[in-house]
Structure 1
Amino acid sequence: MRSRVQRHLASIVPDLFEDRSPAVAFLASAGSIEPGEERPVLPPEFNWRDYTVMLLHVAAEIEHSLMVQYLFAAYSMGGPQVPRELRDDVREWQEVVLGVAKEEMGHLVTVQNLLTALGGPINLDREDYPWGSDFYPFPFTLRPFSLDSLATYVVAESPGSWSGPEADEIKKRAAETASQYVNRVGQLYERIDRILENRDFLPDEAFHADTLPYQASWDEWGRGYTRGQRGREAGNLPNVKSPELLVFGVFSRDSARKALREIGEQGEALGNQGTTGDQGAAEETSHFNRFLGIYRALKALSPQQQALVARPVAENPVTVKRLNESEIVGYAAAEVTTSPITDPVTALWGHLFNLRYRMLLADISHAFLLAGPVDNGGVLTGRGALVHRAFAEMYNLRALAGRLVERPLEAKAPDGLRAGPPFEMPYSLELPHHDHDRWLLQRDLVQASRLLTAQLADTDPDGPADPYLVALREADQRALDQIGHVLERKGCTS
């Protein structure tokens, strides 16, 4: 976690800090930070609205990080090495994990709505790996699907009252995998809810109903999913329910608290915790219960079978080899646990993945700056075009990840580890101040994609006839034409 955020969290999780700052120590000595104390403490340098915005920024980064880690694990699953008798099970598990990742996207968008309603800036950022995670569930690491990585997901999504021999065993495995105690996501939302419920902290006028036209709505982002209930047959699999995307508009204190409660219940299944070991008796709705069910099924397999469930994908793939901090004069020694992609063709696919990931984040962020419906008389508005393109990028990421989990990590070891999607963050997520400049940025990104796809067509032996690259270049050309029309209407084409 960035130190500029970390320093403000001592009042939330003081046990994580050996030496409290003088101001926080004073608050603790005054009785404001005591074991079991329910009243939130306002740290120095904040008022309550600004502090709530900061906590929501942390929540957004957690949702973003979990979504990406779940996607990476899901993309690693399957492959020709999976025994025939396990293929149906693995396919179902993969759809469950992908479904949870999609629901995390809904959580991420709803947190942006909360920020917008409070008048705060939205936040789609997260840190690149490797990095620490004081208030985060566990250090951000892209790991292939395994019993170890699954244990960290179970604990991160678990209710606070989860206990018993199985809980102890999974928590121990998760701590060993993450090299630290794994925190619950629900802790943060519980803290935010205690602030939201107190009118002395946030008066009613702090919630701006007039921001609703700028917020994401379920009608825009819930396409293809069942509203209010989870559908059947996700991916034509009769034993897997389709995800339920939760996207809530926020216009008041009650709507803000409802949004947080719904997110928390989808993650933890409060009051439905599966502690008895009878998973069949519990309705399979929460992330916790879904992950726990897969964990139990995977654990029942032999170690040899478990090792064949996912492809041999590298942890933390990166497109550029970074210097170890111990090799840089003036920096403390630190081990950087990344896996550089050294195969030149694979690296180009990795760069294309990173670029489309950036385009997805830019589309979402840009859409929050435009008000109104997604279409006008059947014609897409600028906001509608951005939402439409965001969904297209989600499909692009899955297609590109499918290539990367099959391609070699290293040129010198073509039969060794597979690369996997790098999910590297762009240099900036900031959008230009003027709207026409934001559309120029959109054009820049599409043009960069066309340059990369042209390089792949020239470099990858299968590139010129690759149907995906051909389709992507055609889609990019349509996007350029669309952006060109927008810029013409704004009187700016340079």
Structure 2
Amino acid sequence: MVIPRVQWRQPDQFKALNDLGPTIKENEFLLGNEEHLAQVLATVGIPTVEGAKTPKEEAIGLLMLAAEVEHALMVQYLYASASVVGSLRKTITDIAVEEMAHLLTVQNLLLALTGREGSSTPFQIHLGRDLLRRQSSFNPLPFTLEKVSKTTLAKFTVVEKPEKILDQTIREKVEQMENDLIADKIDPNPVFALYAAIRWIFQPSDAPIGRVSLSVEMGFKPGHHLKAEDFADTQTIDRYVSNENEWTASADLIIKKVRNHNEAIEALDDITEQGEGPASADDSDSHFSRFYTAYIDFLENGASDVKDLPRTPFVNGQMAPEDPNATRISATYAASWARLFNVQYELMLVDIAYAISRPVADVRRQAMISDVCREQMSKVIGVLTKKISELPLSENSDSFAGPPYGLDNELMPQSDSEFLQRYEQLESTSLSAIFEIKQSPTFPDDFLATIPLQSIEGVTQKRAEIIQPQENII
């Protein structure tokens, strides 16, 4: 798979407007949604894919970046949620789960454009996190794992903020958050700029459509849209598309089927609306609204028992973190558990890819989702997170370690044989990490260590039964 490179192009007609940015920002409540979005695009630019020769090629590249953004936000939210208890933990965890649903909708958008080729996986599955996003200039957030704090909640709020905040009190508080973050050399970028660029390409023409009005005057390329023939055939899409029911019964998860322009626009608008909230109201149950409420509550009441998790923990051997202030887990026993966490995290991503690469009617797909993915998320990743967070960060230290979320290989297998090879390699690495844990002199006295290890053993057995070579279902 060729990994594209995304650049942020500043529209020529807005270069002069960009010089007036501070003036516009001070009076943004006077602007309509379209004018405010134009000002944002003038500041950060419009993302474009280097070397893309057609709207379809550009859409695929931008969707890959969107997948990585959703993945990265999901993990950062999960890490923060692990540092608190009670309603705040539930709020952040629920948002993280909704980001995973957004990630699956992005896979459906990729399916709509890439279809199925031969005996390979049915479409261009991309569940990575750092390949494009880390090189992209205006990421919503650099990948930084942090416990809950005033700064952490402020970053999450700004990243999810809408194009325009109607309530003056809320708008002023969010502006103050942004100013405080910038003073600390932190500059989050709203997600909506990326999705606006994707949405423009999925429009059938330059004419406004759906709930957001985009135009050439905002800097978008005239006529730069997908054609009807750029979409895969509906039979293929229906055969492989992900849906809410197979993952959960929650009404808050957005996993949309996409077969044409209109369904793509609806899916993109739903994702954007759940993140930033409707343009007509600021009291929705959006990510922005929930993070803003959590921020205000934290300022007023604090949070009981915020666990002192380290900033961006990592272990030797994983890819170097992009966070310059990352923390190495140096305690031998904790590092062994952290390495086990990393391989199980990667296994979870491969499990998701395996599941959605099967036809909806394939029993292996449903078994992988219900018997493995869900248990991997809760009984393995969740339990390992708790386990590592109770271990010392370094020898003879009172500080705790934390789950590192390191990825060795972000590209997903492209065929059944590649899946089998990847599983064999990852499970071998997992066994090595488990052996290392059991050889530690700390293990015999660690009476709770068997719980996550038993969960891993159970999930591994179920996975082995599912992926046994069978006659391909095409």
Q: TM-score, normalised by structure 1?
A: 0.75
Matches within 5 A, 1:435-454: 435-454=416-435
Give yes or no for contact 1:314–1:418 (8 Å, CA) kept in 2. yes
Give yes or no for contact 1:321–1:340 (8 Å, CA) kept in 2. no
Give yes or no for contact 2:384–2:452 (8 Å, CA) kept in 1. no
The structure 1 segments of at least 4 consecutive aligned residues displaced by more than 4 Å after TM superposition are 11-15, 34-44, 128-133, 321-325
**Distance in 2 between the 1:131 and 1:363 partners?**
24
Residues 419-453 of structure 1 show CA distances to partners (whole Å, capped at 9, x for unaligned) of 1110011234231x441341342244334333333
Residues 297-341 of structure 1 show CA distances to partners (whole Å, capped at 9, x for unaligned) of 11013xxx55x541111101001178999xxxxxxxx99322111
Match of 2:214?
none
* Greater shift in the superposed pair: 457-466 or 201-210: 457-466
Amino acid at match of 2:199: D
Percent identity at matched positions? 26
Give yes or no for contact 1:360–1:394 (8 Å, CA) kept in 2. yes
**Distance in 2 between the 1:356 and 1:289 partners?**
33
Amino acid at match of 2:313: P
* SS of match in other structure, 1:248: coil
Give yes or no for contact 1:436–1:490 (8 Å, CA) kept in 2. no
Q: 2:394 aligns with which of 385, 403, 410?
A: 410
Amino acid at match of 1:125: G
* SS of match in other structure, 1:195: helix
Match of 1:385?
367
- Residue segments in structure 1 that go unaligned for 5+ positions in a row: 19-33, 79-90, 228-243, 275-281, 326-333, 375-380
CA change 1:405–1:245 in 2 (3 A) is same
* SS of match in other structure, 1:259: helix
CA change 1:410–1:114 in 2 (3 A) is same
Matches within 5 A, 1:289-368: 289-301=289-301, 305=302, 309-320=305-316, 336-368=324-356
Q: 1:217 aligns with which of 238, 243, 258?
A: 243
**Distance in 2 between the 1:124 and 1:323 partners?**
17
Residues 276-304 of structure 1 show CA distances to partners (whole Å, capped at 9, x for unaligned) of xxxxxx34x10001011111111013xxx
Task: Please report how far the alpha carbon of residue 4 of structure 1 lies from its aligned counterpart in structure 2 after TM superposition.
Answer: 5.8
**Distance in 2 between the 1:50 and 1:480 partners?**
35
2:277 is aligned with 1:269? yes
- Residue segments in structure 2 that go unaligned for 5+ positions in a row: 19-37, 115-122, 206-222
Give yes or no for contact 2:48–2:62 (8 Å, CA) kept in 1. no
Give yes or no for contact 1:458–1:464 (8 Å, CA) kept in 2. no
Match of 2:230?
206
* Greater shift in the superposed pair: 203-212 or 110-119: 203-212
Task: Please report how far the alpha carbon of residue 216 of structure 1 lies from its aligned counterpart in structure 2 after TM superposition.
Answer: 1.4
Give yes or no for contact 1:40–1:195 (8 Å, CA) kept in 2. no
CA change 1:5–1:194 in 2 (3 A) is same
CA change 1:154–1:427 in 2 (3 A) is same
**Distance in 1 between the 2:463 and 2:80 partners?**
33
CA change 1:130–1:45 in 2 (3 A) is closer
Matches within 5 A, 1:115-194: 115-119=110-114, 121-127=124-130, 134-162=137-165, 164-177=171-184, 179-194=185-200
Amino acid at match of 1:171: E
Q: 1:422 aligns with which of 396, 400, 404?
A: 404
Task: Please report how far the alpha carbon of residue 36 of structure 1 lies from its aligned counterpart in structure 2 after TM superposition.
Answer: 8.3
CA change 1:335–1:371 in 2 (3 A) is closer
Match of 2:458?
475
Task: Please report how far the alpha carbon of residue 350 of structure 1 lies from its aligned counterpart in structure 2 after TM superposition.
Answer: 0.5
Give yes or no for contact 1:132–1:140 (8 Å, CA) kept in 2. no
Amino acid at match of 1:345: Y
2:89 is aligned with 1:94? yes
Amino acid at match of 2:201: I
Amino acid at match of 2:350: A
User: What value does the CA root-mean-square deviation take over the aligned residues?
Assistant: 3.3
Task: Please report how far the alpha carbon of residue 366 of structure 1 lies from its aligned counterpart in structure 2 after TM superposition.
Answer: 2.0
2:18 is aligned with 1:10? no
Give yes or no for contact 1:212–1:250 (8 Å, CA) kept in 2. no
Residues 63-100 of structure 1 show CA distances to partners (whole Å, capped at 9, x for unaligned) of 0110000000001124xxxxxxxxxxxx1010000000
Q: TM-score, normalised by structure 2?
A: 0.78
* Greater shift in the superposed pair: 445-454 or 159-168: 445-454
Residues 389-436 of structure 1 show CA distances to partners (whole Å, capped at 9, x for unaligned) of 1212111111111111221111132x1x211110011234231x4413
* SS of match in other structure, 2:298: helix
Q: 2:358 aligns with which of 360, 370, 375?
A: 370
CA change 1:37–1:344 in 2 (3 A) is closer
**Distance in 2 between the 1:311 and 1:37 partners?**
38
Amino acid at match of 2:391: R
* Greater shift in the superposed pair: 91-100 or 445-454: 445-454
* SS of match in other structure, 1:354: helix
Task: Please report how far the alpha carbon of residue 43 of structure 1 lies from its aligned counterpart in structure 2 after TM superposition.
Answer: 6.6
Q: How many residues align structurally?
A: 410
**Distance in 2 between the 1:142 and 1:76 partners?**
11
* SS of match in other structure, 1:152: helix
* Greater shift in the superposed pair: 39-48 or 345-354: 39-48
